[in-house]
Structure 1
Amino acid sequence: YLKTGAETKGAKPTKMEHLTGRRVPLTPMRKIIASRMAKSKSEAPHFYITTEIDMSKCMAMREEINAERPPGRKDGAKVSYNDFFARAVALSMVENRTINSVWHGDSIEERDEINIGIAVALSDGLIVPVLRNVAQKGLKEIAKDSASLVEKARNNKLTPDEYQGGTFTISNLGTFDIDNFIAIVNPGESAILAIGKIAMRPVVRDGKIEVRPICKVTLSCDHRVLDGAIAGKFLQRVKELMEAGGL
């Protein structure tokens, strides 16, 4: 810590260390990300809630669905855990419509369409392609649409209609061995779900300790639109749907 002025009187000034480096010009994508995230964090008062989801039934259902694909067949996308989350989020939003809203200064707009953005990492940043009308689609259709959008995103072939119009976003860092993280709400939305890795963890079931595949998720919310009880009810329903496995 810094000492008082009396204690440091007469001390010789230290020479500032010269750090070497280089400045990297911002790419257009990085400029957009910086602008949008700074705007969201400065204007929208965020709050965060976290829960743990037992993925046992989802894992079994995913294995069963993907096993239905004949060996060697490339048509028909494999169902991913993001697809399960997209479906659960959409169904929970149907029951909790306030989550599908956005702040407009003097009003709150409740959207009719439930469009889920899926964050996709790129070499120079990230982009969020949008799955449309997710509540009206089954897992296999969601998987097919999601795989197509992700491929287009990685090949820089998304049309504006395919990355605009999202009403909620999912971001998954589980593939990077991340347990849990907190995301920033995208402008034009009121919440984003941050998904961590699935890890075998000890849990208590009926008074006994069992080891289950657990996934930690954190919901970031715009407090201008959402309150804790609304967000909690929404995330609780997502958890129930995921743990039931009957999506």
Structure 2
Amino acid sequence: MGIEVKVPTLGESITEATLGQWLKKPGDAVAADEPIASLETDKVSVDVPSPVAGVFGDPLVKEGDTVGVGAVIATVNEGSAGAAPAANVATQPASSPTSAPTPAQPAVAPSNGELTDAQAADLRLSPAVRRAVLEAHIDPSSIRGSGKDGRLTKDDVLQAAQAKKSPSPAESQGAAPTNSSAPAAAVPTPGRNEERVKMTRLRQTVARRLKEAQNTAALLTTFNDVDMTEVIAARARYKDLFEKKHGIRLGFMGFFVKAAALAARDVPAVNASIEGDEIVYRDYLDVSVAVSAPKGLVVPVIRSADRMGFAEIEKAIAGFGKKAKDGTLTQADMTGGTFTISNGGVFGSLLSTPIINPPQSAVLGMHRIEERPVVKDGQIVARPMMYLALSYDHRLIDGREAVTFLVRMKEAIEDPTRLLIDL
């Protein structure tokens, strides 16, 4: 009997996850604490380590299955002896409820007697690839996998299906007499492919929370534009000295975080939240900074950003960006947050209406900087301008407060000296 591998504790209030990928195959040698599976929670990916050194035994769940905390998902046989790979969770093409048993069987069953190979190949199929195999009626053992460890990818299946669609006398002569049932649907038009991919838990959570915000909050967005001339000049003047002293580049986000902290002191409702019939005001600012990760947008939190210097803010943002790319953000990194700043400008966005992240009451949207004609001292001049958007919960924040907040930010960005003398 192997040692059980259980789903570890995933964080406060998280009770289940999705098994994203098996990192080991039956019979593979594993070291103690070596990751053998990757789980996807609402916000982060979590590796499941092997409890002992030995040989990976039986996976008890499939990729894409939902598992609870403490659930047994696999076994590991202690010791160094090779264990025979188990015929575990293979899903045979004939078991698909959507395929007709009589006509579909000849198309799927291999004619060369390699059933054992087909079963072995099927053990390594991801849910998306297995679905493609069933839809294309292709023997997976006849396809050479281009993925890691020889695993089949969806592209491999699609290419094999395309090759199978080329004119074949054997196919046309051996057609079953019952081919009148939807023959046209089996031949998709070349160049018009579709792919169905199950939503990740992260994407499902983002969708649920954004819809929840629209359903519960009275959302409104107000705009202003900011002349970035002084910030750009200050950054150009001090960026080399800043990087030499602090070991980090001076970006624009530090200016906006500091300006938001300054504005929130004058308009505390922007940093507050509604809990039941009470309003919770805070004397600290925990800024959620939207960061792009390979699996979607995540919002790690800079704690007490109002008490941090430019270098501390920039280091925190850079650290979160690296962790997001590496997939090492933790639940603690993203818990909390009292106000969000989202910078769509890095992707070229000119204007947007961001949606708040409940229970927060406001989110600031930054956008791209572009030169536009503006009037300064009676003269039309070209200036680097940026649109700012503040989306807020109108149940708590009045329009006057939202406008005041953006005006305070505009004043601080256009005259960065205000950030130093607390004006």
- Specify if TM > 0.5: yes
CA distance in 2, matches of 1:74, 1:177: 31
Point out 4+ residue stretches in structure 1 off by more than 6 angstroms: none
Aligned match of 2:317: 146
* Alignment equivalent of 1:50, drawn from 217, 223, 240: 223
Q: 1:30 to 1:112 in 2, by over 3 A?
A: same
AA at the equivalent of 2:229: S
* Alignment equivalent of 1:121, drawn from 282, 292, 303: 292
- Whether 1:62 and 2:231 are equivalent positions in the alignment is no
Aligned match of 2:11: none
Partner SS state of residue 158, structure 1? coil
- Whether 1:168 and 2:339 are equivalent positions in the alignment is yes
CA distance in 1, matches of 2:391, 2:225: 15
* Alignment equivalent of 1:200, drawn from 355, 360, 371: 371
Q: Which has the larger radius of gyration?
A: 2
Deviation string 1:48-79 (CA, Å, 9 cap, x unpaired) is 10000000010111122312156xx6962112
Higher relative contact order (CA 8 A, sep 6+): 1
CA distance in 2, matches of 1:156, 1:21: 28
How far apart are residue 95 of structure 1 and its match? 2.2
Aligned match of 2:207: 34
Partner SS state of residue 199, structure 2? coil
Q: 1:151 to 1:74 in 2, by over 3 A?
A: farther
Which shows bigger deviation, 199-208 or 133-142?
133-142
Deviation string 1:13-37 (CA, Å, 9 cap, x unpaired) is xxxxx99733210101111101111
What is the root-mean-square deviation of aligned Cα atoms in Å? 1.8
Instruction: Show structure 2 runs of 5+ residues with no match.
Output: 1-188
Aligned match of 1:211: 382
The equivalences for 1:7-26 within 5 A come to: 21-26=194-199
Partner SS state of residue 369, structure 2? strand
- Whether 1:157 and 2:328 are equivalent positions in the alignment is yes
CA distance in 2, matches of 1:180, 1:230: 21
CA distance in 1, matches of 2:348, 2:384: 14
CA contact (8 A) 1:119 1:129 kept: yes
Partner SS state of residue 154, structure 1? helix
What's the TM-score, normalizing by structure 1? 0.87
Deviation string 1:188-228 (CA, Å, 9 cap, x unpaired) is 10000111100011000111101110000110000111010
- Whether 1:234 and 2:394 are equivalent positions in the alignment is no
Partner SS state of residue 197, structure 1? coil
CA distance in 1, matches of 2:388, 2:356: 15
Partner SS state of residue 215, structure 1? strand
CA contact (8 A) 2:242 2:250 kept: no
CA contact (8 A) 1:115 1:166 kept: yes
* Alignment equivalent of 1:221, drawn from 385, 392, 395: 392
Partner SS state of residue 370, structure 2? strand
CA contact (8 A) 1:54 1:213 kept: yes
CA distance in 2, matches of 1:22, 1:39: 28
CA distance in 2, matches of 1:147, 1:190: 26
CA distance in 1, matches of 2:303, 2:219: 25
Counting aligned pairs with the same residue, the percent is 36
AA at the equivalent of 1:78: R
CA distance in 1, matches of 2:261, 2:319: 19
The equivalences for 1:51-130 within 5 A come to: 51-69=224-242, 76-130=247-301
CA contact (8 A) 2:242 2:248 kept: no
CA contact (8 A) 1:52 1:215 kept: yes
Count of paired positions:
228
